[in-house]
Structure 1
């Protein structure tokens, strides 16, 4: 067996058709990561949920900086379980044969690249489960520039961690004990964070009180879908304030042709619509023409 296997990562993510990083993870373009900073949790969540990805969000986490800053980056995953002498011996020998130094958590940190985020399932271990502290958080900042971590387990040295610039961390709890008695079973393999599933190369979106894992092959669609939701909200709020549309009309999944015409005219002429002028509304027009514009189903 091997840790962080390029071949296995490619096999895990066959729907990704773009460029890949050296380790095999999907290389989601920086422009999509940049765009996500301007979006809300609900805007990003909706396009994933309607496609059947219902296990991508986890909200039962604490946050290092509770000041509204977002965590966005490409996932590097790690999975652990309680130690067992023979299993630890086997796994540690695998790591040593691959040239890895230090402890299991250090192997992951040493692999990070710019705009990566550590996603570690420490099986909710907090006492002796402190995956990050001051030193490793400093290393994350140096390697990723804008990254951080999502830890289903503990952290320590919180005062030191908060002094590290440019890093955001989601975690389960705090304990002063150093990390002990754990064994790595997966490195850039499928990872569970509470109720959510993360694959290597997924885009991590930490905001609004929790973390969402966006499948890499859906990121472009998610960003465009979130942008559409955003501009529809801007336009819809204005129409509601002017008593032009009712809430029932605005909240429907399918807008009428008249509403879409007014929306696209707003995007074309209003300065607030400038950044949305490259969006393609053909699917929405098709739904308006051939779907049922009078349906009562509300948007998510």
Structure 2
């Protein structure tokens, strides 16, 4: 059994066509991560659900900094209850064949890069299932800068961990015991977190409501869709306050005239400045096609 193996990681993430880390993990661009921090969980959830990714969200966590949004690239690990023969074999393999130091959880944290988030299936173990404490929490902060951890299990040293301001941790429970009686059987492999599945390189979006795992090949689509929804809402609020349109018109499938009004506002309005990297050619073409085909009464959801 190989840990963190590039060929295996590439094999399970074939839809990602962009840059990768040396270990094969998809490297979603930093600009997409930056933009992801400004969208809501629901804005990320919608496109994933409609593309058939219906097991990407889990909300049953405690959160170290519940007011904070956390975004990063997933580094995954799978732990199982300890069985002596398997445990000694894998621990020895990691030490002797792969040159790893310390215990299984330290192996994962030693691999972290900037903007990473550790995603760990601890099979909901809290007693002797404390994946991190103050020391490893500090190590995560040092390596990831603004990342964190999603742990389907426990943590310890909460009073120390909460003092680490630049990361966030999602976890199931707390206990003073150290991690014990567990064995890692996968590193940067598919990982189950409650009802959700996470792959290495997924974009982790952690919010006060829970965590959603965005497949890397859909990350840009999710961000663009969210940003378009946001700026359309800003325009809609402006025109509603001005009394130009009714709520029914704003919530409808916009006709070409309304799209043209939006497009002119989008080009010049200060409120739209941060969204001007977006293109609306497809939407304008669709509106023109609908006008040519006749009136429509669809409602925008």
Normalised-by-shorter TM-score class: over 0.9
User: 2-side partners of 1:250 and 1:121: how far apart?
Assistant: 44
Deviation at 1:293, TM superposition (A): 6.6
Runs of 5+ consecutive residues of structure 2 not aligned to the other structure: none
- 1:48-87 equivalences under 5 Å are 48-66=48-66, 68-87=67-86
Deviations 1:85-127 (A, max 9, x none): 2221222232122111111111111111111110001111111
SS at match of 1:19: coil
User: 1-side partners of 2:283 and 2:14: how far apart?
Assistant: 28
Poorly superposed stretches of 4+, deviation over 6 Å: none
User: 1-side partners of 2:204 and 2:258: how far apart?
Assistant: 34
What residue is the counterpart of 2:269 in the other structure? 270
Q: 1:63 to 1:293 in 2, by over 3 A?
A: farther
What residue is the counterpart of 1:111 in the other structure? 111
- 1:1-300 equivalences under 5 Å are 1-66=1-66, 68-96=67-95, 97-252=97-252, 254-290=253-289, 294-299=296-301
Deviation at 1:298, TM superposition (A): 4.1
User: 2-side partners of 1:227 and 1:208: how far apart?
Assistant: 20
Deviation at 1:149, TM superposition (A): 0.3
Deviation larger for 52-61 or 116-125: 52-61
Deviation larger for 235-244 or 283-292: 283-292
8 A contact 1:76–1:201 mirrored in 2 = yes
8 A contact 1:153–1:171 mirrored in 2 = yes
SS at match of 2:162: helix
8 A contact 1:204–1:214 mirrored in 2 = yes
Deviation larger for 120-129 or 84-93: 84-93
User: 2-side partners of 1:49 and 1:251: how far apart?
Assistant: 21
Deviation at 1:278, TM superposition (A): 2.2
Runs of 5+ consecutive residues of structure 1 not aligned to the other structure: none
User: 2-side partners of 1:293 and 1:53: how far apart?
Assistant: 33
User: 1-side partners of 2:288 and 2:13: how far apart?
Assistant: 36
Q: 1:293 to 1:65 in 2, by over 3 A?
A: farther
| Count of aligned positions | 297
Deviation at 1:275, TM superposition (A): 1.6
User: 1-side partners of 2:246 and 2:20: how far apart?
Assistant: 46
8 A contact 1:40–1:208 mirrored in 2 = no
Deviation at 1:146, TM superposition (A): 1.0
Q: 1:248 to 1:51 in 2, by over 3 A?
A: farther
User: 1-side partners of 2:296 and 2:229: how far apart?
Assistant: 20
Deviation at 1:264, TM superposition (A): 1.3
Deviation at 1:41, TM superposition (A): 1.8
Deviation at 1:249, TM superposition (A): 3.3
Deviation at 1:59, TM superposition (A): 1.0
Q: 1:86 to 1:249 in 2, by over 3 A?
A: farther
